[in-house]
Amino acid sequence: MLVRIVKRTFSGAEYCPEQKVLKLGGEGSTGVETLEFELPEEWAGMAVTVHVQQLDGTLPQSVLLGEDRCLEVDRMFTASEKGLWMLRAMDGNGYCAMTRPARYECYETFATDGDTEITPSQYEAFVAQVLGAANTASQKAKDAQSAADRAEGAAGEAQKAKAAAADSAQQAKGEAESAQTAAQQADKAAARAEGYAPKDGTVLSVNGKGGAVSLNAADVGAMDADRGDLVQQVVLEGRTLTVVFTDGTQQTYTTQDTTELTAMTGVLSTENGGTGLDRALTAADVGAVEKGSGDYLKGNRGNYRLRIEQRGEWKGLTVCAHWHTPGASAVTLVENGVLTVPAAVTAVPGVGCITFEGTDGSCTVTSADVRCKVCANSGTAEGAMPAPATPAWEALVGMLGTGGITTAEKRAVLTVLRTLAAGNDAAAAACDRLEALWGADDPDNRNTARLSLAVLGRMILGRS
């Protein structure tokens, strides 16, 4: 009979059997029933004893459960027709737990002569049964011994086979290592052979290199395919020429008076907006000085400064700027949050970049490239800008506020502004709004003047 002991914690810890009453056969019976106890997990490895209290209060000697946790029902229970029982679990550290006492019952039997002696025939029959069981057990033991001997022999053979397999594996490993060494030697020999051309070969080297030669763009005087300043596509739509570079940026140009692509080939006359020259423009053609001349350093010296704000991992670092422009390749230090633009940078027009580097002496942080652009101008012979009677900005404000400017002048201004706004989305958007504003109907020009100033201010902020 399976007797499962469960732990209940509804109102405190309590161990109880699932059966409320155990039915253990007839009164006075022995060996009729076996109790198999299933104990809580926390009782594992503990000594568990069974305690019984018979109906008249008698307390028989407690019984220690074995490892199988089973107990054969004997007269400890059945001497009384009913009673109570419980389990007690203990370990060597003072732990002691007991189950709630539960009832057991035995049905009533009538009295028998328990002192009647066993007759010789009954005894002989019992002895014969015992001897038969003993002989059977002995034969099974012999069979088990024979099976064990055979298994031991098979284990020995398996051990020998295992040792032989290990030897074969070791030998195979050695052969594999030898093969790998031979392969490496063959590779080295092949590499040495590739470094020399055969006597009757037609090629001894490529660009001064022998063997398996791999050339890059620099080896053949070419430019890398992933350079961002290479032209990827040129599209002509009406009067607008769009140049798309490999880094995804675009430049747009407006033709003068033709929409035919063929008319733009060859030498373009000055009447059509060309140079009229069949050669590349020189610095003198555009009123500039040659690259490398000391004169170009006279302009824009100390005029431009950048305010640098250091945040995050840059905070507290000493920061310098590396300039990579057509006019200079220089390094300047950020002092008190201000970076002065070198005169050499602004001396030559073109597009370049700045790379910032910060350090505290133990670690170094570098930034991504920051693009910069220097616009072209006519320059001055003395290296100083003349002071006009009326500044250009005031002159433009005056034109807008005292009668406006002509349509042709507006187109010219827009052309210059679009060139300056190239590559800057905010400035380009301001240009679009200014063009739409100048196309609106405004007879007295007052609203146009005010709004034009606001839009031009927005464009200047976008450019800066």
Cα distance between residue 325 and residue 184, in whole Å: 49
β-pair partners for 49: 64, 88
Structure tokens, 396: 């433009």
Structure tokens, 93: 């550290």
The per-residue pLDDT for range 9-47, each reduced to its tens digit, is 888 889 999 989 999 989 988 988 999 999 999 999 899
> What is the pTM assigned to this prediction?
0.28
Token pair 């422009």 is found at 325
Token pair 């880094």 is found at 247
The per-residue pLDDT for range 238-276, each reduced to its tens digit, is 778 787 877 778 888 776 555 454 444 445 566 555 666
Cα distance between residue 204 and residue 197, in whole Å: 5
pLDDT computed for residue 264 by the predictor: 47
pLDDT computed for residue 189 by the predictor: 78
β-pair partners for 44: none
Cα distance between residue 234 and residue 164, in whole Å: 76
Structure tokens, 129: 């049964």
pLDDT computed for residue 447 by the predictor: 56
Mean pLDDT of successive 10-residue segments in the chain (464 residues)? 90 89 90 92 92 93 91 91 94 90 91 62 77 87 89 88 89 88 84 62 60 72 68 77 80 64 52 64 65 54 81 90 87 89 84 92 89 77 52 56 66 79 79 77 58 57 46
β-pair partners for 242: 235, 252
What is the Cα 185 distance to its own chain's centre? 40
The per-residue pLDDT for range 349-386, each reduced to its tens digit, is 889 999 999 998 888 999 999 999 888 776 555 555 55
Q: How many CA atoms lie within 13 A of 34 on its CB side?
A: 8
- Provide φ and ψ at 428, rounded to 5°: -65, -40
pLDDT computed for residue 261 by the predictor: 47
Cα distance between residue 171 and residue 173, in whole Å: 5
Under 8 Å between Cβ of 342 and 323: yes
- Provide φ and ψ at 195, rounded to 5°: -75, -10
